[in-house]
């Protein structure tokens, strides 16, 4: 049992190290993605990353110190996190980033008609032009039947072949076409990882609790 317990102990420590790295990555993702998603969604991701990081540190300490109390507290925290992840999977709306990006295109296109240049960053990022196509710019009188340089490869519209003919709405939909599937994989992967760590933590907590009881007799 000693060898098995040691294996579980160090496995739990390793998984918690990976759990901590995951928490840091979630925090980085939430920070870098600020502005590319709804604020409340970004805050939720940052909170989730912080919770994962704190729980992982608590689990590492409990495994190293072989403390039943810390391990059972850790198990309780993992159960709470498991419920939160499950609730997130059930309640999380689909295509959050896609819908936000599409709305951003709509908003910036409206601004473009009164503030030329508002679409530049979007057009450079997605290699697109206008809302639906380059034709959109020809309908705006102040452009005098021309398109901005951001609508062309390398900002060079002298060569007609450099023009991005596809509109930004279509490009954004294409860029986020796999968002729902990717999100599902990430969510279920996170849930499965939590279940594995929870199982190891329960086994270890039971073992150390029984061992302490034997020492008390």
pLDDT digits (tens, 9 = 90+) for 86-145: 888 888 777 888 888 999 999 999 998 888 889 999 999 999 999 999 888 887 755 455
CA–CA gap between residue 99 and residue 38 (Å, rounded): 10
β-sheet bridge partners, residue 133: 166
- Residue 57's contacts (CB-CB under 8 Å, 6 or more residues apart) are 16, 20
Cβ 151 vs Cβ 137: under 8 Å: yes
Each residue's pLDDT tens digit, 128-186: 999 999 888 887 755 455 788 999 998 888 888 899 989 999 999 998 888 878 888 88
Integer CA distances (angstroms), 15 to 104, 196, 197, in order: 39, 9, 7
Calculate mean pLDDT across residues 37-54: 83
CB atoms within 10 A of CB 150: 19
Per-state percent for the chain, helix, strand, coil, to nearest 5: 75, 0, 20
Classify 152 as helix, strand or coil. Answer: strand
Encoded tokens for 141 = 């009188």
CA–CA gap between residue 130 and residue 135 (Å, rounded): 7
């Amino acid at each position: 049992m000693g060898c098995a317990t040691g294996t579980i102990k160090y496995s739990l420590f390793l998984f918690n190290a990976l759990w901590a790295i995951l928490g840091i990555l979630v925090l980085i993702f939430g920070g870098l993605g600020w502005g590319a998603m709804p604020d409340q969604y970004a805050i939720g991701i940052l909170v989730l990353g912080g919770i994962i990081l704190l729980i992982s540190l608590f689990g590492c300490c409990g495994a190293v110190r072989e403390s039943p109390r810390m391990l059972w507290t850790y198990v309780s925290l993992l159960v709470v996190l498991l419920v939160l992840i499950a609730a997130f999977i059930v309640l999380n709306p689909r295509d959050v980033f896609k819908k936000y990006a599409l709305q951003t295109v709509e908003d910036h296109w409206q601004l473009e008609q009164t503030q030329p240049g508002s679409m530049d960053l979007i057009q450079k990022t997605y290699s697109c032009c206008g809302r639906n196509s380059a034709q959109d710019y020809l309908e705006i009188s102040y452009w005098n039947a021309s398109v901005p340089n951001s609508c062309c490869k390398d900002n060079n519209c002298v060569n007609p072949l450099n023009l991005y003919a596809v509109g930004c709405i279509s490009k954004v939909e294409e860029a986020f076409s796999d968002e729902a599937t990717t999100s599902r994989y990430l969510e279920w992967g996170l849930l499965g990882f939590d279940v594995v760590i929870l199982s190891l933590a329960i086994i270890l907590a039971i073992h150390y609790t029984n061992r302490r009881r034997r020492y008390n007799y």
